Structure 1
Amino acid sequence: MDFFQRQKDARKRMYVLAAYFSVAIVLVIPPVYLVALGISIPFRATYNFFGAQWDFHKTFVPLQHPGWRDPPLFLWVTAGIVLVLACGAAFMVYRAACGGAVLAQMLGGVEVSLESKDPRQRRLLNVVEEMALACGLPIPDVYLIHAANGINAFAAGLTPRDSAIGVTPACMEVLSREELQGVIAHEFSHILHGDMRLKTIMLCMLHGLSLPGAASIHILRDAVTGESTHAALLVGALVVFSPLILPFLLVSRLGLWLADAVKSAVSKQQEFVADAAAVQFTRNPAAVAGALKKVGGYAAGTRVLSVLTREMSHFFFAEALGEAPTEIGLLAMHPPLEERVRRIDPSFDGTFPYVPSLRKRELERIAEVSAQARGEMRPPLVIPAHVEQLVESIGSPQPESLLLAGTLLAVIPPVVREAMQTPSGAASVAYAQLLSADEAIRAKQLVYLASRLDPEAHRALLALSEALRDTSSAHRLPIAKLAIHSLRKLPRAAHPPFLRDVEALVLMDAQVDLFERALQGMLRRHLPPAFGHALTPGGPIVHYRMAPLLPACEQLLSCLVRWGSHDEDKREFAFRKGAEQLEGGETLAFRPSEDSVVDQLNHALETLARAGLALKKQILSACIVCVTADGRISVAESEMLQIIGDALDCPLPPVTPTAA
């Protein structure tokens, strides 16, 4: 699946969504106008009292019916509907801009702590971390939706950097590790390919349209069931003012149905593609199909109990409203489960096996797997890196990438993994990674940190630095990504001092270290969304032609070849091979200057981040060809490719340094 084509398709669906939304507004205005007109007639018609004709204001006029055409009222109704839609959208935009974690919390989600000792939660976190590293994405926050007994999951957020994954407890309790991995891969496909962003924008646009209908359902439910403390008052109001209230309640349901119809029309096909992507990511169709079969046969179903379930039903892995929408068919947010399973397993006969709770058996299995993992250390996995494979892997991780991610997690020292479970420990890991190999500079850095940290934190830092000394340089970037996930939980007041400390440690090292600068850049890109509203990575697209970007491309490729080789002839050859991938690249010239390599790289990436998707594909292809021109990929070059992909918002899976 081509990452760039999927991104284009997601943007095209935005126009389709806008068209459907416009049609929904046009359809909802006439019924509301007719109801408003009908209610207003008694207040505007004239009456006959004791032989005299009087209007509502007791003015003597001839008796007449106001008629069905009332342009001023129509304009007022239209303005009122637009105001409700705008207010509803503004509220949800404000909430969604805070990140996917806020949407998960609105559904009643509780964040899974990185310090959790529950074996099921540890397994869930491990699966999410593996998938994020394999996809080259930031690690999302993970939430448990306790207001659900069935099997379900979702991904929410505007960008991969502020995304959150939510699962129900049954996902951990009923699904095997491989099946859980298939469900998480399905959700990561939505994150990678822009579906999550589209779903979030859809939620914001349709919130005002569905809000009156959702409110009317809750009002009637509270009045009938007596759950509200004001149930008697609600019943009385409904009885007394029923001629006024009931018509609006009926019309508000129309808005809810129209919102469901729009979500259904836009969302259904995405589920088939995400299922196929999950199979591609894991190369385990039996696990993905098995998860869907368990969803269909699980006794508790897929229902999620939350006041926002209906509005966010298009986010979920399966129907969050239970069976009712499926019976309606047209308003279902997902294709039928039977069809989804058959597309993966053509031999499926349509019968879902009954699935009881498997909690005890699953816990025993998790404990057994954990014991095996502690006793065994998997050997390093080597993945051949070819140019075509690397380009195709952007946004489409292969099973080998998933295995490599699992291997990288397995070889991280336990003391480092434990430290990264807390924000303060993750900060110490970041400091330890920035310590120089030169003993004199290292001593200077440790003296500085001793003045900034409390004694206990400083002792922990020393232990971490010793543990990281024996860690391969190929593991530095995965460790940094795991640390950044935990650093997002730092208190707001601790954010500026932490970045100042990172800057000080980088400047103390007299050598220009790409990894140090890259880590600094990643922290600046990924941490700000955690300390306020989510930021759109890279800003708006301003470049749709390659010509204005050629100077930045020349700068980027020159930095790559200068960093990867010291032989001038090899540098020139690699630069020329990379430039050939760019439109107009024949005009580029290698810049031999050695000054401020990293600063030039950062400046070039800031410019190129504003390019369109088609141009980014050319740029990444040029970088990959440039790096692999000598037939090998070094550790530094592997890190650089992932850093460039991160800066351009084109996630690259991990690449093992090896012969190309």
Structure 2
Amino acid sequence: MDFFAQQARVRGSSRRLVILFVLAVIAIVVAIDAVVWFALGRHPAPGEPAASNLNLLLGTSVVVLAGIGFSSLFRIMSLSGGGKNVAESMGAVVVPPDTTDPALRRLRNVIEEVAIAAGVPVPDIYLMADEPGINAFAAGYSASDAAVCVTQGCLDHLSRDELQGVIAHEFSHVLNGDMRLNIRLMGLLFGILVLTIVGRRVIWFGGGRSSRRDGGGGQVWMIGLALIVVGYIGYFFGRLIQAAVARSRESLADASAVQFTRQTDGIAGALKKIAILSEGSQLQAANKQEVAHMLFGEAGSFNALFATHPPLLERIRALEPGFKEADLARMVAEMQRAAASPPAARTNGPAATSGVPGMPGLPLPSVLTGVLAGGIATAAPAFQRAAAVQQAMPVGLAEAVQQPESALAVMLALALSLEAELQPAQRRIVADAFGDDVARAVDAQAAALTTLTPIARLPLVSLAFPALKQLPDGRQQTLLRALDDLVRVDGRVDINEYCLARLLRIHLQEARAPRRAPVDGVKKLPAARDSVILVCTIVAAAGCSDEAGARRAWLLAMQQAFPGEAIAWSPPPAAWQTPFERALDELDGLSPMAKELVIQALLRAIHADGQVSVEEAELLRVICAGLHCPVPAMSAPA
């Protein structure tokens, strides 16, 4: 499946639906203006000169728009802390990094694997412990402030492959930019619904006894009633548009989950379990409709009018074209046989019941996890490598990056040079910035890093990110400055040093101001021609020890990005870091399809010599972070 093509198509349809949302707000303003004109406007008798109600209608329009706007802004600002605010508003609790619960440990491992494979920082992880249905959502403004929240039903009923499919689905929302739109939809719906609240207040205070004394109570009561009616009608149509926006993006998220995991059994198995379990994907939370468009499945019973997701069978058939509704009945029969088997043959676990029509109350033992998944699937190579990196991580380092101060020490230790003559100067930089205690901690972590494989350096940054976000802003800034000083202590910056400092800077800056994260770009590839050439030049040079090899790799990239054009090769500048960062900033403004061409060109350059170096892999990870897209599948680094 073509991730970027799907992304461009769905973003285009979402923009049209958002325009409909704006039109709905305009219709609300016009309707209230009409009521106000009828109730309070000047209506001259026949034969009298026409009276102007322009000031009245303008004032009403401004008041209504301001009311919707400020209410929406208030709701959006209340969620400005990012994904964790949304998760906590749903009653979810954070999953601690040092949890010893096997189910929660499995959840963390799966999320960390997906984050490493996709090249994004590990998000905050939350659990809705009182929700037995199978559901999940991702919230936030960008990958750097994202939170992934799952229900207890996911832990109780899903196999590891199925849980991985659900998490990959949620990560696609992170990478597609859906989370920012989702939060804004929450704000707009709240702003429209506030009209009904204001209407009730107008009736209660403005249309009461005090207003009836001067005979104006009737008109004020009419305006209050209009606010209530129009507010609910606007909310009704807002929910329709919200559902349409969500349905279009859910289809992309399912497709993206398949692209990430390279298998359909996991996510298809999760959808089948939702179809069969009596709990389905339903939530019990009172404010579930507010986040309905964010969820993996429907928050309540399926309603075609307000459905935020395509029908379950339609989603399953998109993944498995030959699937039929009758297959669910056969699965239930398998469950019946498993339920009738001797107790010793069954695995202990939480029981559930069938939601298949005509078969209520059928027990669904957890031993059937593999039945619905259709067998054990082979994970994508990227996931296999991510799992291998995670499992090979030294235990001491894995524990150190779970706490803010020890994670800071690990990041500083990663920047220390292997050249003994440079280390005293680097230790002085650390001591000056953080004190002797941190300097000693950095020395201890540097010793532990000697057992870390080079390709695990940047994945370790992803694992450390949740802890690093907890550092005070001042300490984060000191960390970034110290990293810059450490990598420049010898007067030059190699690629590994640069990638470490740049990746941390991107993620920490976006986490500190999540609402300022870049929005979708619209520029075409020719508009950023020079930036594409420079980035491809630097990547080609990083993967080759000689200029001839770099030029050959660069030419392949140019053929991919600008076929048929004659472009002259020139080696990368000696001080390449600043131009490289400016180029990435420009490329981030490209449209999804243009970004795809850039990534394909880079892959051509990287694979030109038949192998992937650690430097190439790290550069690509930093480039993808700068372009806000997932790391593509490629060969394993040498």
One-letter identity of the residue aligned with 2:183 = T
2:19 corresponds to: 19
Q: Distance in 1 between matches of 2:317 and 2:523?
A: 43
| 2:349 aligns with one of 361, 365, 389 | 361
Q: Distance in 2 between matches of 1:214 and 1:318?
A: 30
Indicate whether 1:144 and 2:144 are aligned: no
2:269 corresponds to: 290
Indicate whether 1:122 and 2:97 are aligned: no
Please give the secondary structure, in 1, of the residue aligned with 2:166. Answer: helix
Alpha carbons of structure 1 residues 334 and 612: separation in structure 2 relative to 1, 3 Å: closer
1:158 corresponds to: 141
Of 638-647 and 586-595, more deviation after overlay is shown by 586-595
Q: Does the 8 A contact of 2:401 with 2:464 survive in 1?
A: yes
| 1:601 aligns with one of 569, 580, 595 | 580
Q: Distance in 1 between matches of 2:30 and 2:557?
A: 60
2:464 corresponds to: 483
One-letter identity of the residue aligned with 1:475 = A
Q: Does the 8 A contact of 2:128 with 2:149 survive in 1?
A: yes
Alpha carbons of structure 1 residues 431 and 74: separation in structure 2 relative to 1, 3 Å: same
Q: Does the 8 A contact of 2:140 with 2:183 survive in 1?
A: yes
The gaps in structure 1 that reach 5 residues or longer are 46-60, 220-232, 364-382, 384-397
Q: Distance in 1 between matches of 2:64 and 2:158?
A: 45
Indicate whether 1:409 and 2:390 are aligned: yes
2:537 corresponds to: 558
Alpha carbons of structure 1 residues 248 and 122: separation in structure 2 relative to 1, 3 Å: same
Deviation track 1:64-90 (CA, whole Å, cap 9, x = no partner) reads xxx9x9776655543333222211232
Please give the secondary structure, in 2, of the residue aligned with 1:165. Answer: strand
Indicate whether 1:498 and 2:479 are aligned: yes
Of 3-12 and 275-284, more deviation after overlay is shown by 275-284
1:388 corresponds to: none
| 1:620 aligns with one of 579, 595, 599 | 599
CA deviation after TM superposition for structure 1 residue 442, in Å = 2.5
CA deviation after TM superposition for structure 1 residue 422, in Å = 1.2
Alpha carbons of structure 1 residues 179 and 491: separation in structure 2 relative to 1, 3 Å: same
The gaps in structure 2 that reach 5 residues or longer are 340-345, 352-377
Deviation track 1:313-365 (CA, whole Å, cap 9, x = no partner) reads 11111222x22xx24x2122223334333444514425596999x996379xx
Of 493-502 and 263-272, more deviation after overlay is shown by 263-272
One-letter identity of the residue aligned with 2:270 = A
Of 142-151 and 487-496, more deviation after overlay is shown by 142-151
| 1:340 aligns with one of 315, 320, 335 | 315
2:283 corresponds to: 304
One-letter identity of the residue aligned with 2:2 = D
Alpha carbons of structure 1 residues 273 and 549: separation in structure 2 relative to 1, 3 Å: closer
Q: Distance in 1 between matches of 2:229 and 2:175?
A: 39
Indicate whether 1:508 and 2:483 are aligned: no
Deviation track 1:434-459 (CA, whole Å, cap 9, x = no partner) reads 11111222243234434555666445
1:178 corresponds to: 161
Alpha carbons of structure 1 residues 148 and 362: separation in structure 2 relative to 1, 3 Å: closer
Of 329-338 and 411-420, more deviation after overlay is shown by 329-338
Please give the secondary structure, in 2, of the residue aligned with 1:446. Answer: helix
Indicate whether 1:191 and 2:170 are aligned: no
Please give the secondary structure, in 2, of the residue aligned with 1:144. Answer: strand
CA deviation after TM superposition for structure 1 residue 160, in Å = 2.5
Deviation track 1:457-488 (CA, whole Å, cap 9, x = no partner) reads 44543332222112221211211222234312
| 1:442 aligns with one of 416, 423, 438 | 423
One-letter identity of the residue aligned with 2:3 = F
CA deviation after TM superposition for structure 1 residue 8, in Å = 1.8
Alpha carbons of structure 1 residues 26 and 492: separation in structure 2 relative to 1, 3 Å: closer
Deviation track 1:207-264 (CA, whole Å, cap 9, x = no partner) reads 31234458999x9xxxxxxxxxxxxx9xx99xx9996666644443222211111112
Length-normalised TM-score, structure 1: 0.77
Q: Does the 8 A contact of 1:642 with 1:654 survive in 2?
A: no
Q: Distance in 2 between matches of 1:71 and 1:558?
A: 62
One-letter identity of the residue aligned with 2:146 = S
Deviation track 1:529-583 (CA, whole Å, cap 9, x = no partner) reads 322343323x78585352x534333433332333332323323322322222233
Deviation track 1:154-177 (CA, whole Å, cap 9, x = no partner) reads 112233333221222322233232
Q: Does the 8 A contact of 1:214 with 1:256 survive in 2?
A: no
Q: Does the 8 A contact of 1:175 with 1:291 survive in 2?
A: yes
| 2:405 aligns with one of 403, 410, 424 | 424
Q: Does the 8 A contact of 1:405 with 1:654 survive in 2?
A: no
| 1:544 aligns with one of 515, 521, 524 | 524
Q: Does the 8 A contact of 2:6 with 2:252 survive in 1?
A: no
Indicate whether 1:330 and 2:310 are aligned: no
One-letter identity of the residue aligned with 1:520 = A
1:5 corresponds to: 5
Please give the secondary structure, in 2, of the residue aligned with 1:580. Answer: helix
Q: Does the 8 A contact of 2:414 with 2:457 survive in 1?
A: yes
CA deviation after TM superposition for structure 1 residue 600, in Å = 4.3
Q: Does the 8 A contact of 2:534 with 2:572 survive in 1?
A: no
Deviation track 1:100-136 (CA, whole Å, cap 9, x = no partner) reads 2333233333332323333322221211111112222
Alpha carbons of structure 1 residues 119 and 216: separation in structure 2 relative to 1, 3 Å: farther
1:316 corresponds to: 295
Alpha carbons of structure 1 residues 575 and 361: separation in structure 2 relative to 1, 3 Å: same
One-letter identity of the residue aligned with 1:569 = A
